[in-house]
């Protein structure tokens, strides 16, 4: 089983690119373009879609959305607007549990707004979500809403199906640490959703005594079925870990095997019990995908053009030292399993944990005979995980292999292919060091990885001189002495400042301009607030990060440790065409619609501290320009 791939590759080029680099680095051999989404970002591989592409028929939306979380507990997303040739990066949530299992997932609603789900790592009985106010535009996210459940949650995977467009089907790991599903209403006028069917446990794994955790990947045909491939448990816990496949018919709520044989009705008390016994395989032969005697795990599930399931799986030796990659496809009467490559062992730098963590695989959605895999190779920087493209013959008899990243300084891991992209430029992956899936005192560095992509990223010209009408590099501000500035009237503007609040007085007004006040009204939580006349716009984010986890024990205990308030942060406020946006350290925080603002007078102060590099422009800076101001804070 554990064959070695002896193909030799010419190693040329490099894939390392720094933040803000406008020109992509090209590998001369295969023309792979490598760009940077974020220098701080990571994801697990069980909450999906972690990225998606959406184009509407009218041609008004054509965007790609990519979500990730960083080691400071910031849940973030990048939106690439291919129509406007513009990139924006949004702070979905600050001060979250710094755990890579908590990456956000995306759903396009029937009204074309974007809904984003996220949750802590199985230690809190709820989901969180935000919905964009405008179709296709996550820079306009509404307030965060908490969706309560009766059981702890993780790995949200949402679907909307054409046979039932009035509901959201949400799958996750929930009841008893098992695959769980519920049906939700669509967001109402206040963006609230409710459960109107479920939550229900889908199956029950009967292997072992306690601690059984089946891991599931989900897919749908977009119409009336939700497919799931899942394991007996975590491969760490069982040296023979089988893979199963079922699907749910949303009309009958019946759970069926690949041949359409009914296994159970989801929602009924009698669950379908799975196990690794010969008796189960004999009774349900078409529910079992892989019963080979290894620690099997799943990386991805998708469908081919005939709605046949295709999987990327890994078989791990009993001692966990050797991982093998496989492509598995349903051929109408059997599962076709094709060996792709040995993938070494666990990829990360911590030898005593998570030895079943492979470099990772992803399936090409427009051609599921193509798999991208992260495998160790010898490069000029020593052994490193590079990406390879595996193309499987339709009959599974042969595999063509092509290395697509070269001479990388850091590991390239956990690839993901964005569905719906009109071309082959759809690959995403993590690159960097990796010590643990959670930040703690044991391994405080956690997962310091970047998000790279082959997707072309627009970059606007950075010109921080044009339009600047005021600059002051050393401004003292306090709650009693306010700096007042008068500038020529402007209907579009930017105010940028580097603020260092007094740690003993971390609240008060920061800026007043055009009839709007930006403040931190509450010292304890430090939640930014915009006041415009009688309206108040409260941020969904706390001004602070999750660095406190670096001092705590390694666990998922449901605790919210007090946020670490920054000693210094960059605040930027822009206004253009009725939209006021605030940016914290280069990330979009708030976006509100306020008509008719006109900048003439600015007052800085009302909070103790110092403000460096106060700048005022008579135009709205682009986010590329704003992030260039914020490089020290990235």
Length of the chain: 634
395 and 527 share one domain: no
Say what the pLDDT of residue 424 is: 65
Say what the pLDDT of residue 73 is: 98
Say what the pLDDT of residue 27 is: 44
Say what the pLDDT of residue 323 is: 98
Say what the pLDDT of residue 539 is: 97
Which residues have CB under 8 Å from 620's CB, separation 6+? Answer: 492, 493, 494, 574, 575, 576
Residues in a beta bridge with 342: 324
188 and 297 share one domain: yes
67 and 167 share one domain: yes
Domain boundary among 430, 453, 476: 453
Say what the pLDDT of residue 29 is: 52
233 and 278 share one domain: yes
Q: Pick out the chain residues at pLDDT < 50.
A: 1-28, 209
246 and 146 share one domain: yes
Say what the pLDDT of residue 575 is: 98
φ, ψ (nearest 5 deg) of residue 371: -125, 135
Contact assessment for residue 107 and residue 118, using Cβ atoms and an 8 Å cutoff: no
pTM of the shown model: 0.94
Between the alpha carbon of residue 135 and those of residues 67, 186, 265, 582, 583, the distances in Å are 18, 15, 36, 20, 21
Contact assessment for residue 431 and residue 14, using Cβ atoms and an 8 Å cutoff: no
Say what the pLDDT of residue 31 is: 56
- pLDDT per position as a tens digit, 149-160: 999 999 999 999
436 and 552 share one domain: no
- pLDDT per position as a tens digit, 8-24: 332 223 333 333 333 34
**How many angstroms separate the CA atoms of 116 and 106, rounded?**
5
**Domain range holding 45?**
25-453
Say what the pLDDT of residue 611 is: 80
422 and 498 share one domain: no
442 and 487 share one domain: no
The answer as to whether 332 is a domain residue is yes
């Amino acid at each position: 089983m554990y064959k070695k791939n002896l193909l030799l590759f010419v190693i040329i080029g490099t894939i390392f690119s720094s933040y803000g680099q406008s020109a992509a680095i090209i590998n001369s051999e295969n023309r792979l373009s490598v760009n940077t989404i974020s220098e701080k970002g990571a994801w697990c591989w069980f909450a999906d879609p972690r990225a998606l592409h959406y184009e509407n028929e009218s041609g008004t939306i054509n965007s790609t959305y990519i979500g990730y979380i960083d080691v400071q507990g910031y849940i973030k997303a990048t939106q690439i607007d291919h129509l406007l040739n513009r990139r924006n990066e949004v702070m979905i949530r600050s001060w979250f549990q710094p755990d890579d299992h908590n990456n956000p997932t995306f759903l396009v609603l029937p009204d074309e707004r974007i809904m984003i789900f996220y949750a802590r790592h199985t230690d809190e009985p709820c989901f969180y979500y935000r919905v964009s106010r405008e179709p296709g535009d996550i820079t306009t996210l509404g307030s965060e809403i908490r969706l309560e459940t009766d059981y702890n949650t993780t790995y949200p995977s949402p679907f909307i199906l054409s046979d039932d467009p009035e509901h959201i089907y949400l799958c996750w790991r929930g009841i008893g640490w098992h695959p769980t599903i519920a049906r939700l209403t669509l967001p109402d006028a206040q963006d609230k959703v409710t459960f109107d069917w479920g939550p229900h446990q889908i199956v029950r794994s009967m292997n072992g005594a306690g601690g059984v955790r089946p891991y599931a990947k989900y897919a749908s045909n977009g119409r009336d079925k939700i497919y799931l491939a899942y394991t007996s448990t975590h491969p760490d816990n069982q040296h023979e870990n089988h893979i199963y496949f079922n699907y749910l018919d949303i009309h009958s709520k019946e759970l069926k095997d690949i041949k359409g044989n009914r296994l159970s009705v989801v929602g009924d008390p009698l669950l379908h019990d799975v196990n690794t016994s010969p008796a189960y395989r004999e009774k349900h032969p078409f529910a079992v995908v892989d019963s080979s005697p290894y620690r099997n795990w799943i990386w991805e599930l998708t469908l081919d053009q005939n709605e046949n399931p295709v999987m990327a799986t890994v078989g791990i030796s009993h001692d966990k030292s050797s991982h093998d990659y496989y492509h598995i496809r349903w051929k109408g009467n059997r599962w076709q399993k094709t060996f792709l490559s040995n993938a070494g062992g666990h990829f990360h730098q911590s030898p005593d944990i998570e030895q079943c963590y492979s470099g990772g695989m992803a399936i090409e959605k427009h051609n599921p005979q193509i798999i991208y895999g992260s495998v160790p190779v010898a490069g000029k920087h020593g052994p490193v995980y590079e990406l390879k493209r595996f193309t499987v013959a339709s009959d599974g008899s042969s595999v063509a292999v092509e290395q697509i990243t070269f001479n990388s300084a850091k590991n390239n891991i956990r690839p993901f292919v964005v569905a719906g992209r009109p071309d082959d430029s759809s690959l995403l992956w993590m690159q960097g060091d990796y010590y643990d899936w959670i930040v703690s005192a044991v391994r405080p560095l956690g997962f310091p990885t970047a998000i790279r992509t082959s997707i072309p990223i627009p970059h606007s010209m950075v010109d921080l001189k044009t339009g600047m009408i005021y600059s002051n590099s050393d401004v003292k501000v306090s709650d009693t002495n306010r700096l007042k500035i008068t500038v020529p009237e402007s209907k579009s503007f930017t105010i940028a400042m580097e603020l260092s609040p007094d740690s003993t007085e971390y609240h008060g007004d920061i800026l007043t301009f055009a009839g709007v006040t930006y403040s931190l009204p509450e010292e304890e939580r430090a939640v930014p607030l915009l006041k415009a006349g009688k309206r108040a716009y409260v941020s969904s984010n706390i001004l602070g990060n999750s660095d406190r986890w670096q001092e705590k024990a390694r666990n998922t205990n449901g605790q919210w440790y007090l946020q670490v308030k920054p000693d210094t942060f960059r605040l930027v406020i822009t206004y253009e065409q009725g939209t006021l946006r605030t940016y914290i350290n280069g990330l979009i925080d708030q976006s509100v619609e306020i008509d008719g603002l006109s900048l003439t007078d600015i007052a800085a102060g009302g909070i103790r501290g110092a403000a460096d590099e106060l700048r005022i422009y008579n135009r709205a800076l682009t986010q590329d320009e704003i992030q260039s101001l914020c490089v020290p804070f990235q």
